[in-house]
Amino acid sequence: MSPIRIGVLGAARITPTAVLRPARHVEGAEVVAVAARDRDRAAAFATKHGVGRVIGSYEELVTDPDIDAVYNPLPNGLHGRWTLAALAAGKHVLCEKPFTANAAEARTVAAAVPDGTIVMEAFHYRYHPVFRRARQLLDEGAVGTVTRIETWLCFPLPKFSDIRYRLDLAGGAAMDAGCYAIHMARHLGGSEPEVVSARAKLHAPSVDRAMQADLRFDGGATARVTCSMWSHRLLHVGFRVTGDAGELRVFNPVGPNFYHRISLRGAAGRRVEHLSRRPTYEFQLEAFCRAVAGGEPPITDVADAIANMEVIDEVYRHAGLEPRSPTP
Q: Which residues are catalytic?
A: 97
β-pairing verdict for 269-273 and 261-266: antiparallel
| 98 upstream amide cis, omega within 30 of 0 | yes
User: What is d(CA 176, CA 196) in angstroms, rounded to the nearest whole number?
Assistant: 21
User: Using alpha carbons only, what angle is made at residue 323 by residues 123 and 74, rounded to the nearest 5 degrees?
Assistant: 45
Phi-psi sector, 298: left (phi>0), alpha (psi -120 to 50), beta: beta
User: What is d(CA 169, CA 146) in angstroms, rounded to the nearest whole number?
Assistant: 37
Instruction: Give yes or no for a contact between 253 and 184, defined as CB atoms under 8 angstroms apart.
Output: yes
- H or E element at residue 173: helix 173-176
Q: Which residue type does 314 have?
A: E
DSSP secondary structure, 34-91, as one string? EE-SSHHHHHHHHHHHT-SEEES-HHHHHH-TT--EEEE-S-HHHHHHHHHHHHHTT-
Q: What's the sign of the alpha-carbon dihedral 312, 320, 191, 115?
A: negative
DSSP secondary structure, 248-316, as one string? EEEE-SSSTTT--EEEEEETTEEEEE----S-HHHHHHHHHHHHHTTSSPPSS-HHHHHHHHHHHHHHH
Nearest to 134 by CA among 16, 264, 325, 10: 264
User: What is d(CA 146, CA 89) in angstroms, rounded to the nearest whole number?
Assistant: 45
C-alpha dist (Å) from residue 1 to 190, 231, 282, 289, 290: 37, 49, 19, 12, 12
